Amino acid sequence: MLYTTYKMPTEGFSMSSIDRESHVIKAVPKELFIDGQWRSAQDDRTFPVADPATGETLCHVADASPRDAAVALDAAAKAQAAWAAHPPRRRSDILARAYEAMLERQDELALLMTLEMGKPLAESRGEIRYAADFLRWFSEEAVRVGGEYRLSPDGKTRFVTMRQPVGPTLVITPWNFPMAMGTRKLAPAIAAGCTTIVKPAPDTPLTMLALAAVLGEAGLPAGALNVLPTSRAADISGPLLRDGRIRKLSFTGSTAVGRHLIAQAGEQVLRVSMELGGNAPFIVFPDADLDAAVDGALLAKMRNIGEACTAANRFLIHADVLADFTDRLAVRMAGLSLGRGTEPGVTVGPLINPRAVTKVAELVDDAVRRGARVVTGNGPLEGPGNFFTPTVLTEVPLNARLVHEEIFGPIASVIPFSSDNDVVGIANDTEYGLVAYIYTRDLARAFDLSDRLEYGMVGVNTGLVSNAAAPFGGIKHSGIGREGGFEGIQEYLETKYVGIAT
Ligand code: NAD
C-alpha cells in the first residue's frame, strides 16, 4: 500500500474543544502528496497556515517548489494511460467509497475547515455534505459515459463517436470553499479517467490534504492525484502549463488570475474550465413574498461570510418595497452573531485574512463617500482576528466601487429600481455573469427576466443555486464551462470519432 494510512481521530471527539482542535490539526498530513506518497518539499521549505479568527499559526505545511511540480507531473503523466484504462465501475467505486468516508468524517473535516478558513462549524458541515455530493454524483456518472453511432448523409460512412479522458489536468482551487471546489473538479476528473495535479490556495491547504487522504484510502492509484500546497503559485503553475504533458487547466478563483492563466494555457492550446468572480444582483419585486425574500437575501449574502462568488453583491429592490425590505434585512443582519466559527451560536466568522478586511473597508468607505447611508454595521472589529461587522448600506449610488466590484464580505448594498426594464439594465451592467436572484410571485415575469438576465444561473425565489446535480458556471468574465450536473464530466472528456467506410 503506497498511501500512509490516515484516519481522523474520531475518538478525539469526546475531548475538550481545545484538545479536539489540536488533535485534528495534528492528524492531517502536512506534506506534498505525489505519486501516492506523502513527501517533504525537495528544498525542505514550509509555510504557515493561520487561524483567521485569531491570527495564530495553526501549523506549517510543505511548500512545493518547481522541482516538486516536475516530479508530480512525471507521476501524473506516467499514470494517465493506466488510469484511463481503469474500468469505469472501479473509478465509480472509488468515488462512492470516498463519499461514504467523507460523510463519516464530516465533523472532523468540518472542524479542520473552520480552523483554517473561519466559517462557522454548521456551515463547514454543510460544505462537507455539498462537497461529498459531487463524489456521489460523479460516481454515478462515471459508468454512464457513452458515445454515438451515426450514418454520413451520403450513407457511405458509419461514424462512431467515443469519449476519452482529456489527460493530465492542473487543478487550481480557492480558499473560500476549500473542500467543495476540490471535489467539484476532482470527482469528474476521476470519473472521466484524468490524472490530476492540484494546487490548493495557500490560506487553506489542510482541507485539500485531508481530501487527498480520503481519496487515497478509497483506492485511488498512485499518480492519479497529486497535491502541491505552495506559497509560490506562479512558479509552480507556469512550468506545468508550459509543459506539453498537461492537457487541461481547471481553475476557480478571481477573474484577474483566471485571465492571466487563460493566456498562459493558450500557449499550449489547453482545454480550460474557469470559475471566476461574480457580481450577483438580488432582485425583489413588489409582488414578492417579502419574508421569503429577506430569508433568501440573508442566505445569498451571508453564506460563507459573504465570501462566495455567488454572494448577492447588489440588492436591487423595487421602490415600493424598498424601505420595508431594507429595514427587515438590517434587523436580521444586526442580529447575526460574530465570532470564532468553532464557538456555539456564532453565525458569522472572520474574513480570510487582514487584506480582505482592508479591501472590504475600502469599498464601504468609497460608497459612503459617494453618498451611501449606513443602516447597520460598524466596520472592522478591534482586536485579533479578521472580523468585519455585517453591514447594510442604502441609497448606494451606481458609481460606487462595490456596485461594480466583488465585495467578498458581509456588506449588503441596496439600490432602488422602478420597472422591469430598469432593473434588467442595472443588473446586466457588469462585466460579470455568474448568478442572478429574482423574487417575484409572477411566473411570466420570472421567465421573462430569466431570459433577459445575462447570467449563467438564475435563482427564482431562492437564495441558493449550488447543487451537485446542476450545471454551475458563468458567462462573460465569470468564466468558461460548467461544473456539476451532466455537463460537469464533459469538461474532462474529448470526443473522438471513427469513420468506417462501408
Ligand atoms: P485567487 O484568484 O487569488 O486565487 C485562486 C487560486 O489561484 C489560489 O490557489 C491561488 O494561490 C492561485 N493563484 C493566484 N495567483 C496565481 C498565479 N499567478 N498563477 C497561478 N495560480 C495563482 O482567488 P481567491 O482569492 O483564492 O478566491 C476568491 C475568488 O474566487 C473570488 O473572485 C471568487 O468569486 C472566486 N470564486 C469563484 C467560484 C466560481 O465557481 N465561479 C467559486 C469560488 C470562488
Reading the block at residue 62, the C-alpha cell is 510543505
Find out whether 169 and 195 touch, Cβ atoms under 8 Å. yes
Strand order across the beta sheet in which 157-165 lies: 148-151, 157-165, 493-501
Nearest ligand 1 atom, CA 200: 9
Ligand 1 touching residue 481 (CB < 6 A): no
If you measure from the C-alpha of residue 345 to the centroid of ligand 1, how many angstroms do you get, rounded to a whole number?
Answer: 30
pLDDT per position as a tens digit, 162-213 = 999 999 999 999 999 999 999 999 999 999 999 999 999 999 999 999 999 9
Sign of the alpha-carbon dihedral angle for 180, 299, 387, 316: positive
| Residue range 136-146: mean pLDDT, rounded | 97
Mutate to test the pocket of ligand 1, among 203, 259, 309, 482 (most ligand atoms within 8 A of CB): 309
If you measure from the C-alpha of residue 67 to the centroid of ligand 1, how many angstroms do you get, rounded to a whole number?
Answer: 23
Ligand 1 touching residue 485 (CB < 6 A): no
Q: What percent of the chain has pLDDT over 90?
A: 96
Ligand 1 touching residue 300 (CB < 6 A): no
Nearest ligand 1 atom, CA 175: 26
| pLDDT for the residue 15 | 64
How far, rounded to the nearest angstrom, does the alpha carbon of residue 23 sit from its chain's CA centroid? 27
> Which H/E stretch holds residue 110?
helix 106-117
| Residue range 399-425: mean pLDDT, rounded | 98
pLDDT per position as a tens digit, 79-136 = 999 999 999 999 999 999 999 999 999 999 999 999 999 999 999 999 999 999 999 9
Closest protein CA for atom 35 of ligand 1: 253
| pLDDT for the residue 5 | 45
If you measure from the C-alpha of residue 75 to the centroid of ligand 1, how many angstroms do you get, rounded to a whole number?
Answer: 25
Ligand 1 touching residue 279 (CB < 6 A): no
Residues 461, 287: Cα–Cα separation, whole Å: 12
Q: Is the model's pLDDT at 12 over the cut of 50?
A: no
Ligand 1 touching residue 237 (CB < 6 A): yes
| pLDDT for the residue 97 | 98
Nearest ligand 1 atom, CA 236: 20
Find out whether 430 and 98 touch, Cβ atoms under 8 Å. no
Residues 192, 77: Cα–Cα separation, whole Å: 15
| pLDDT for the residue 16 | 76
Q: What is the pTM of this model?
A: 0.96
* CA proximity to 477, closest of 426, 410, 405, 408: 405
Closest protein CA for atom 32 of ligand 1: 254
Ligand 1 touching residue 176 (CB < 6 A): yes
- Please give, one letter per residue, the 3-state secondary structure of 230-246: CCCHHHHHHHHHHCCCC
| pLDDT for the residue 14 | 54
Residues 6+ apart with CB under 8 A from 160: 147, 148, 149, 497, 498, 500
Q: What percent of the chain has pLDDT over 70?
A: 97
If you measure from the C-alpha of residue 386 to the centroid of ligand 1, how many angstroms do you get, rounded to a whole number?
Answer: 19
Catalytic residues, by residue number, are 275
| Residue range 446-466: mean pLDDT, rounded | 98
- Please give, one letter per residue, the 3-state secondary structure of 11-24: HHHHCCHHHHHHHH
| pLDDT for the residue 314 | 98
Nearest ligand 1 atom, CA 256: 2
If you measure from the C-alpha of residue 470 to the centroid of ligand 1, how many angstroms do you get, rounded to a whole number?
Answer: 22
Ligand 1 touching residue 170 (CB < 6 A): no
Chain length of the chain = 502
Closest protein CA for atom 23 of ligand 1: 253
Domains and CATH numbers, the chain: 17-277+480-496 (3.40.605.10), 280-431+435-467 (3.40.309.10)
Nearest ligand 1 atom, CA 434: 41
Q: How far is CA 130 from CA 91, 141, 378, 478, in A?
A: 20, 17, 32, 21
* CA proximity to 46, closest of 35, 37, 34, 57: 57
49: exposed, middle or buried (Cβ count in 10 Å: 0-12, 13-18, 19+): buried
Residue 377 confidence class, pLDDT cut points 50, 70, 90: very high
CA angle (356 as vertex; 350, 358 as ends), nearest 5: 110
If you measure from the C-alpha of residue 201 to the centroid of ligand 1, how many angstroms do you get, rounded to a whole number?
Answer: 8
